[in-house]
Structure 1
Amino acid sequence: MSDLGVLSYYLGIEVRQGKEALMLGQSTYTKKLLERSGMAECKPCMTLMEERLKLTKASTTVKVDATLYQSIIDGLRYLVHTRLIIVFIMGYVSRFMEDP
């Protein structure tokens, strides 16, 4: 066994160690996920989800690529480890994993 020094990056999670705190982040992973979903150039907003948004399985909009949708949702699920604020949204959009 060998000492590799201070942990800084592990499984997509960035680790910053201070004297009194341990900070976990996933900014690099988030940027890659935004690029993969085609949203890297989008502007940030203050609200995470439109208020009173009603999604239904009986939608008349054009179907999206199910594999890409599921891949993005899985990426967001991994992002929940450091960004707990998106847990509700993840539960909401995960309802449509079967037939996006």
Structure 2
Amino acid sequence: MSDFGTLSYYLGIEVRQGKEALTLGQSAYASKMLERSGMAECKLCVTLMEEQLKLTKASTAAKVDATLYRSIVGGMRYLVHTRPDIAFAMGYVSNFMEDPREDHWAVVKRLLCYVK
């Protein structure tokens, strides 16, 4: 067994160790997600989702690229490890991975702005 020193980065999670606390973060991973989705230059969003937002699987909005939608939502689900505040919203938008529409994608884009 080898000693590699103090842990600072593991599986996309940044680890900062102090005398009083151990802090986990994923700012580099979040930045990669923003770049991959083309939202790196988006404006900041203070709220996670609109209040009383109702999305349905029977939406009549235009279809979006399902592969991109699944890739971004799946990648953002990994952020839940250090960002429990987005857990509910990620679970909600995950319901629409089978047939994503424009209104579903708009919510994912708002989540990305919130994460930024």
Indicate the TM-score class for this superposition, using the shorter chain for normalisation: over 0.9
Is there any run of 5+ residues in structure 1 with no aligned partner, and where?
A: none
TM-score normalised according to structure 1 size: 0.95
CA distance in 1, matches of 2:68, 2:45: 23
Percentage of matched positions with identical amino acids? 79
- 1:36 is aligned to 36
Deviation per CA, 1:62-85: give whole Å up to 9, x if none: 211111111111111100000000
TM-score normalised according to structure 2 size: 0.83
DSSP 3-state at the match of 1:96: coil
RMSD: 0.8
- 3-12 or 50-59, larger mean C-alpha shift: 50-59
- 2:66 is aligned to 66
Is there any run of 5+ residues in structure 2 with no aligned partner, and where?
A: 101-116
CA distance in 2, matches of 1:88, 1:58: 21
Select the structure that is richer in helix: 2
- 2:93 is aligned to 93
Greater relative contact order (CA < 8 Å, ≥ 6 in sequence): 2
How do 1:11-90 residues align onto structure 2 when only pairs under 5 Å count? 11-90=11-90
Structure 1 stretches (4+) deviating beyond 2 angstroms? none
